[in-house]
Homo-oligomer: A and B are copies of this chain.
């Protein structure tokens, strides 16, 4: 453990406004760039349903449209038509808590250095609060409560050198997790943080180039995967092709494992691994580590189905659809009152009585955060007649909050931070409960125990598993600055 890896334990409750898991996309030299971005964002929709936006450049002009809601809600045909040009950046944003306002939607567009700059960001900057306070003291006026805007102001105030110089210097100032896309009339810039916490890949579309948070966006638009962007690497893409710039020392890589466990789409490949196959391998490994006598294996849809199928296959127990998820749930849905909840109204998941009735059921889920969902599902299965319910979790217990963009939760809300596995078993009402070990998880990821990045170094990739063991790959800051932004977020303003 050393200085680079944060050991401070910041106040758990304060981090929540910062979480911004999102999806980004960029295109350069592509016909119909806005339409292309629209379909790419649609493929990345699972990474963010709060807002969507696209900015394009055509000659020296920038065009911009963003709005709250799903991609299909935000854009009409006339919006796409207005977004002229062969270069674009797009963004979908995830709703955590608070501050779902249009000004926070991305890409953001600013006038800097006498020209327009659009930027989109996936991740979370841990020193944004401190930097914002400094910039405001110097007379900068912020438009949003987003940490992303800090980078725009750093670039705007940069003196001397090119815009790429300004971007590089600004990225060296901020810390945290990010995949960034920048668009100007002169080029597209894509950057991944020094730890590689958030994924980003480069692809080829005809004679043009594309970048995206996940490769499923390439498949959707018919682009060809070229390579993952390296941690601490920035690509300058323009008429001259793709120019890689290494703006940070090759730190120990620390890709977020939750991208595999829960967040990414099963058909995406991240840093060379297919998400579905990793999940299925986790399920198989889990069956080996924690076998049980049972009649059926079921998964909690959608993210746990791969692991459940893997468990079933390894265990030789039939896989069944024991839980059905309603796929029509949307943002405008009216939640049932307490009275109706008590009467048994349940919207998201429905157990299949004829599948579980009288059966010993293995229920595979990808993670336990607060435990409320697990308890509810176990009870639901018992109500539907399950004789035994054995819960199997295809990742280790989550004991620490995430500061890099995954909305896990404050520490005191994490079930595994407070209880032993035995206590958790009782808490969720299961007949048995088992988690995949960290070693098992790393093996499913195709890496040895040395891969976990505890400082020993070693061959192969390393991952950020801070939520499992609390060793954070960056410095953490006290939350003085955060309070400033939270206050701003609560204010009525910034319509």
Give the interface of A toward B (CB within 8 A).
31-32, 35-36, 38-39, 42-43, 45-46, 49, 55, 61-67, 70-73, 75-77, 80, 82-84, 102, 109-112, 114, 116, 136, 138-143, 152-153, 156-159, 205-206, 216, 219-223, 265-267, 269, 274, 276-277, 280, 302, 305-306, 309, 313, 318-321, 324, 326-330, 332-334, 336-337, 339-340, 343-347, 350-355, 484, 488, 490-495
Cα–Cα, bound, A157→B276 (Å): 53
**Known: A332-B73, A336-B35. Contact between A109 and B494, CB under 8 A?**
yes
Partner of A61, one of B139, B140, B492: B492
How long is the Cα–Cα vector from A470 to B45 in the complex, in angstroms?
A: 43
Contact B39–A340 (Cβ < 8 Å): yes
* Top 4 A-B pairs, shortest CB-CB distance: A222-B344, A63-B492, A139-B157, A64-B493
**A277-B355 contact given A111-B136, A114-B136, A136-B114, CB 8 Å threshold:** yes
**Chain B nearest CB, measured from A101 CB (Å):** 11
Task: Give the nearest-CB partner of A159 in chain B.
Answer: B139
Cβ distance A139 to chain B, nearest Cβ, rounded Å: 3
Residues of B within 8 Å of A276, CB to CB, are 320-321, 324, 352, 354-355
Q: Please indicate the chain B residues that have their CB under 8 angstroms from the CB of A221 in the complex.
A: 340, 343-345
Contact A350 B219 (CB under 8 A): yes
Cα distance, A495 to B136, chains bound together (Å): 23
In the complex the two chains form, is A141's CB within 8 Å of B116's CB? no
Question: How many Å lie between the Cα of A32 and that of B340 in the bound state?
Answer: 8
Alpha-carbon distance A138/B267, docked complex (angstroms): 47
Whether A45 contacts B320 by the Cβ 8 Å rule is no
Query: Which residues of B are found within 8 Å of A72, using beta-carbon distances?
Result: 328-330, 332-334
The reply to whether A64 and B351 form a contact with Cβ atoms under 8 Å apart is no
Q: Which residues of B contact A114 (CB under 8 A)?
A: 136, 484
Assess whether B35 is in contact with A350, with CB atoms less than 8 Å apart. no
Residues from chain B with Cβ under 8 Å of A327 in the complex: 46, 302, 327
Query: Given contacts A220-B346, A355-B277, is CB(A493)–CB(B321) below 8 Å?
Result: no
Copies of this protein chain in the complex: 4
Contact between chains at B495 and A64 (CB < 8 Å): yes
Report chain B residues within 8 Å CB of A71.
328
Q: Which of B84, B277, B490 contacts A354 (CB 8 A)?
A: B277
Cross-chain contact A66 with B351 (CB below 8 angstroms): no
Is A326's CB under 8 angstroms from B141's CB?
Answer: no
Residues on B with C-beta less than 8 A from A206 are 343
Neighbouring B residues of A76 by C-beta, 8 Å = 332, 334
Residue pair B343, A111 in contact (C-beta under 8 Å): no
Complex formed: what's the CA distance from A220 to B328 in Å?
Answer: 13
> How far apart are A381's CB and chain B's nearest CB, in angstroms?
12
A313 CA / B354 CA spacing, docked (Å)? 18
Residue from B39, B309, B318, B336 in contact with A336 in the complex, judged by beta carbons closer than 8 Å: B39
A491 touches B326 (CB 8 A): no
User: Is the CB–CB distance between A116 and B324 below 8 Å?
Assistant: no
Q: Using CB atoms, name the residue of chain B closest to A225.
A: B353
Q: Are A216 and B324 in contact (CB under 8 A)?
A: yes
Determine the distance from Cα of A206 to Cα of B266 in the docked complex, in whole angstroms: 42
Chain B residues positioned under 8 Å from A266 (CB to CB): 321, 324, 352
- Assess whether A345 is in contact with B491, with CB atoms less than 8 Å apart: no
